[in-house]
Amino acid sequence: MSQRIAIVSGGSRGIGLAITIQLLKEGYKVIIADLADSVKDSEKLKDPNCYWHSCNITNSSQVQELFQKTIKDHGKIDLLVNNAGIIKDNLIDKMPEEDFDAVVNVNLKGTWLMCKEAAKYMRVQNSGKIVNIASRAWLGNRGQSNYAASKAGVISLSRVLALELGKYNICVNVVAPGLIDTPLTRNLKPEVLESLINAQPTKKIGQPEDVARAVAFLGSEATHFITGQVLYVDGGKSIGSNMI
């Protein structure tokens, strides 16, 4: 069997980096679609099967170029992981309109553009997997009216695409992380982080690798009959226990 080809947006940092490393371990060739030049110098990503492509996922021309080059260089796309996203938190009465627009533009429109382009090639192949990264926050989080709405949109988008693309042997699923140990969470005040951990049914924080393994599972060839689903990686927080 030929080597599987994956595109991971935002694959050089945090959860995206863990996803990239996991897929490399599982034998994929991984194209990182990212704006960060630092990925080229990362020791963790010095792998002959790891490639970098500068891409602003909100720019349709750049997204088209990414997929065209991937097909030209590798001949196919087996897996798309839409991980790139931004956060600009604030209570709604204090949130600038531009912060709402920015978050929805990257998290939702960017994911839509990437899925749109992937669908063109995967339909021709009559195969493919798309895994979109949402968040448990889509269920509601104070101060995240923009972020929660964007991730709810990602889930709805994924369900629609599962219906549209299923007859072409394309599976579209969602991984929804909860509280994960990333640079963002490490920058929280200790007392805030402690309260968030205490709100978890499992009383612990997740690791990026937990999300990466879920992505690899849904992206694998073994999951051809799972589509339109949301897999929570959140220590049980989505159940509603100890919500804060």
Cα-Cα-Cα-Cα dihedral of 240, 147, 213, 195, to 10°? -50
> Taking residues 92-120, what's their average pLDDT?
98
Q: What is the pLDDT of residues 72-86, one digit of tens each?
A: 999 999 999 999 999
Query: What residue ranges do the domains of the chain occupy?
Result: 5-239
- Mean of pLDDT over the chain: 93
28 is known as an active-site residue: no
Mean pLDDT across 115-136 = 98
| Domain 5-239 coded CATH 3.40.50.720 | yes
Neighbours of 214 (CB within 10 A): 21
pLDDT in tens, 194-236: 988 988 899 999 999 999 999 999 999 999 999 999 999 999 9
Catalytic option among 121, 147, 168, 232? 147
pLDDT tens digits for range 221-231: 999 999 999 99
User: What is the spatial distance between Cα 26 and Cα 212, in angstroms, rounded to a whole number?
Assistant: 11
For residue 186, the model assigns a pLDDT of: 83
Could you count the other beta carbons within 10 Å of the beta carbon of residue 136?
22
Tens of pLDDT, residues 24-77: 999 999 999 998 765 555 667 788 999 999 999 999 999 999 999 999 999 999
CB atoms within 10 A of CB 7: 27
